[in-house]
Amino acid sequence: MTVQTDRGIKPPPEKPEAEASLLGAMLMDGGLYNEIARGRLGPPDLSREQHRIVLGAIARVAERSEPVGFATVQSELLAHDELDAIGGSQFLVGLMQNVPTVAHASSYAAIVERTALLRRLIGVANEIARLALTREESAAAVADAQELLFAVSESTLHRDIVPLDVALRRYAEQIDARGDLRVGVRTGIESVDKKTGGLQPSDLILIAGRPGMGKTSLALNIVEHAAVVQKKTCAFFSMEMSEMQVVQRLVSMRAEIDGNRMRRGRLSTQEFTAISAASSELQQAPIFVEESSRLNVTDILAKSRRLQAERGLDLV
């Protein structure tokens, strides 16, 4: 895999020295694999075949809950007829001898992870170029490209196991920083807010009910209250209603005028005034509407992420 630039062909980013130092450190301190590599780095993330073979052997030893070290890894390589492929036991010895310091193992891992991510990104970019050249349906090509980029993005997310005392400290810091401020987005429905404390960050809330029971109206009521009253940035994705229908419902709610009367158009002067005032309020509200019957989860995620980056996003 190479990259074409204005200055010619450029090889993909590689840090074989960091890979070697990381492997040598893990051979010297077997606990490092579980601490900094398990679930984070795998053989495909390394740029040299010898390094990939060694990391694969380390991973297999660790999976069996055996201690990782020179002897166990050498034995594992022998058992899989891989020792000769890396140049024999001397290669393992060289890895350990050339480690600058085991104390910097996490830094070596970060370097390896970063360059592996860049190589994956280059691979995805090449695949996206292939999609653009071979697909006739542009929408399908875009959807597949989004999936590829999302997969690269997701691969960067690592959640380490956290001791309870650390989690408690973080919670205490959060409570202290919050003070008397209410957390989350209030729905505007007092009974719901009392039970839930509002819609909290990362919560997935499902509004369930039979057709015609008012699920969409409830969702729009929450959006209207969040954006107009609390000034929260909201995104509303609709696969059924058009943009104009969404706007009409929001205006109807804010103006407190029956939607059927607005559709018929027989409105009094007082009602026109209320609609004008409601429209002015809604113009200042940070609400973003997307209508499409072909929306999928990837589309919603991509648009939400862009909105989050540009404006900040409180509610979808």
- Catalytic positions, please? 240
DSSP per position, the chain: --EEETTEEEPPP--HHHHHHHHHHHHH-TTHIIIIITTT--GGG-SSHHHHHHHHHHHHHHHTTPPPSHHHHHHHHHHTT-TGGGTSHHHHHHHHHT-S-GGGHHHHHHHHHHHHHHHHHHHHHHHHHHHHHH-S-HHHHHHHHHHHHHHHHHTT-------HHHHHHHHHHHHHHHTTPPPSB--S-HHHHHHHSSBPTT--------TTSSHHHHHHHHHHIIIIIS---EEEEESSS-HHHHHHHHHHHHHT--HHHHHHT---HHHHHHHHHHHHHHHTS-EEEEE-TT--HHHHHHHHHHHHHHT---B-
